[in-house]
Amino acid sequence: MQTVSVDDFTRQSFDFIIIGGGTAGLVVASRLAQHGKFTVGVLEAGGVVNGRDEVEIPAFFGRALGTDIDWKFESTPPGTQGGVKDQWPRGKGLGGSSAINYMGWNRAGRVDYDAWVELGNPGWGWDDLLPFFKKSETVHPPSSSTQEEQDIRYDPNTLGTSGPIQITYPDEYSPSHQLWIKGLNSLGVETNPAPYSGSNAGAWTNPSSLGLHTKARSFATEYCSLAGSNLYILTEALVEEIILVKADSGYVASGVRFTHNGQEYTVSASREVILSAGTIKSPQILELSGIGNPEILSRAGIDAKVDSPMVGENLQEHKALIFVVDVDPELENPDELILDAEKAAAAREQYDQDKTGPLTTMPGSFGMVPFTKAIQQGALDKICSQVDALTGLSPEKKALLEQRLRNPDKIGLMEYFFKLGAGAFGGADSRHGIIAQILQQPFAAGSIHVQPKSAATDDPVIEIGYYHGPAGEIDLELMLQSTRFARSIMLAPPFNSVVRQPFLPPASAFEDDEQMKQIIKSGTRAALHAVGTCAMGGNAGIRGGVVNERLQVYGVQRLRVVDASIMPLQISAHIQATVYAIAEKAAHMILEDVAAQ
């Protein structure tokens, strides 16, 4: 991985400038540089994070949050709902959020991606994206004994075997894992025989972005080995704006202005500027550059160049509620590695010596549950009637979301996962675990915009209002009704031999709807899967989104956005694998467009 000095960077003549050396940015940069004919520059606000324990060691996932390699964003309090500020961690360093996330690797269902096409974005359906999912990954199957013991199933024809990101299943499993799967089975949630093949509904074992032999995080910096000396990466470079030049047909992106160690610089791109700063930073940089809603730009003291009203709008995030539960004290609990210094030291020695033991394990007990399983039919019919009366969504999006409620057979719209250990979630000692309930398809959307009189060093304003307005009321009811299913999981044999009783909230809360609603409102947190703020506009064009299906920014030539912000609708999956696929497809499209010129 080649990082250079600011002097070396600024003396280059670049074909492409990529803003952001994160998950998507390094994929696009490396694939373009791999082509061999182009000089590619990457501007990254953070530094190199490879080699840090909190990045590399699997069981240390989550420890990087709140550190110097996290942007440490916060959302605004949700108005009069009595909520609190929510933490919105994002990776600040080469690799972006792929360096600090929880390493979950899964795909959404066919209907999620085909919905993007139905909105008017050809080329973004399941069949279109599958080759790029496969191109990004090397999936290492579990041993035959592990596969049989843990009932791990998948279709190898849909998985990649030569991509840069290494995907592995855990070598060791807690006794609770199979009990979790069987407990879901007893509730009618069947084990999915091919969860990466177009239907993610059901119970299954989730792999992680983890090296097979290194037992270290596999993340976006792996892509840099594809490129040669024509890839230049500058770290600690904060982008101030994209330079736009007036042309007869609008504006052309010609380069980027940025600061490094307090000094201001500009660089030019002869072919394209590619914005890959993520769902939070990408709309902020567009607005700082004069692309956005003129009223918002005016309040920030920014001259409006391109009237693009959807910049920063359409913010969609998975809504997570954590249940802390008392568990069987005889089970080996990961929290003991934190609470017991002797066990922690022994685990570290084992990891350093042969890359085995507790520090290599990752949670893999997942269930993606259709609402027809999680919610009683009468309650679901009532929610559907609320959707019928809903305004504020485009007719196309409303129809797609409503269809998923009514016909969700092959899509899991409520995620549940189980993890032993709850130290970060209110557990007092090692005798706790967590069950997470995560709403996959929220109706309510938020926004991300620059602050008034804003500068690049200011954090943008994240307005999410999880349960605000009629759309938020639908989300609240979906979460409330689904808590009953969460309680059913705790009681389901044989998993009920693991969970003794709810701890936070207590068992009594599950019997009181009003109390549970307050718990949901105050306890919901972002699942760190935000999308949509620079979405593909589809049939609605610039009035419905920010980029077209080639990810080109409306109203600006030679400027694209490539990251999670381009998703027009949220998906029923952790987004990491999809972001890699988006970036792989984007690089392919860019090379196609160059060849056609």
Helix (H), strand (E), coil (C) string for 61-118: CCCCCCCCCECCEEECCCHHHCCCCCEECCECECCHHHHCCCCECCCCCHHHHHHHHH
Whether residue 233 contacts residue 1, with contact meaning beta carbons closer than 8 Å, is answered with yes
- Model-level pTM greater than 0.75? yes
What is the model's pLDDT at position 466? Answer: 87
Which of 135, 131, 206, 209 has its CA nearest to residue 166? 209
Active site residues: 529, 574
Residue type, position 158, single letter: T
Contact by Cβ (8 Å): 176, 343: no
CB 29 within 8 A of CB 43: no
Closest-CA residue to 268 (of 293, 300, 291, 242): 242
Q: Provide the pLDDT for residue 29.
A: 98
Question: What is the phi/psi pair of residue 182, to 5°?
Answer: -70, -30
H/E stretch holding 398 reads helix 395-406
Dihedral pair phi/psi, residue 380, rounded to 5°:
-70, -40
DSSP assignments along 174-238, one per residue: -THHHHHHHHHHHTT-PBPS-TTTT---EEEE--EEB-TTT-SB--GGGGGGG--TTEEEE-SEE
pLDDT at 78: 55
CA distance linking residue 492 with residue 323, whole number of Å? 16
pLDDT at 82: 45
Helix (H) or strand (E) holding 239: strand 237-247
Looking only at the bridges linking them, the beta strands covering 263-275 and 14-19 are parallel
Task: Give me the half-sphere count of Cα atoms (radius 13 Å) on the Cβ side of residue 255.
Answer: 11
pLDDT mean by block of 10 residues, the chain; 597 residues: 93 98 98 96 98 96 95 77 74 98 95 96 98 98 90 93 96 89 96 94 95 97 96 98 92 98 98 98 98 97 97 97 92 79 92 93 91 92 91 85 77 92 69 94 94 87 89 96 97 96 95 96 94 98 98 98 98 97 98 94
Distance between CA atoms of residues 362 and 172, nearest Å:
9
What is the tens place of the pLDDT at every residue in 61-100?
A: 999 999 999 999 999 865 434 456 789 999 999 999 999 9
- E strands along 1-61, which residues? 14-19, 40-43
Encoded tokens for 113: 């991606």
pLDDT of residue 393: 81
Q: Judge: domain 319-439+467-523, CATH 3.30.560.10.
A: yes
How many CB atoms lie under 10 A from the CB of residue 118? 18
Secondary structure class of 31 (helix, strand, coil): helix
Q: Which residues is 499 bridged to in the sheet?
A: 327
- 121-144: pLDDT as tens digits: 999 999 999 999 999 999 999 999
Compute the C-alpha angle 327/330/333, nearest 5°. 65
Give the separation between CA 322 and CA 434, rounded to whole angstroms: 6
What are the DSSP calls for 470-505, one per residue? HHHHHHHHHHHHHHHHHHHHHHSTTGGGTEEEEEES
- Sorted by sequence, the CB contacts under 8 Å of residue 224 that are 6+ apart come out as 1, 2, 26, 30, 231, 233
Token reading at 178: 């199979």
Residue-wise DSSP of 316-331 = B--EEEEEEEEE-TTS
Q: Are 1 and 26 in contact (CB under 8 A)?
A: no
* Residue 193: how many other CB atoms lie within 10 Å: 13
Q: Which residues are annotated as a binding site for FAD?
A: 239
Prior bond of 494 cis (ω within 30°): yes
For 256, phi then psi, to 5°, come to -140, 140
Q: Return the structure tokens found at 504.
A: 């936070």
- Residue 382 tokens read as 């009532």
**Rounded Cα gap, residues 555 and 564, in angstroms:** 21
Per the CB < 8 A criterion, the answer to whether 242 and 51 are in contact is: no
551 half-sphere exposure, CB direction, 13 A CA radius: 29
Residue 576 CB-density burial (10 A; 0-12 exposed, 13-18 middle, 19+ buried): buried
Neighbours of 150 (CB within 10 A): 17
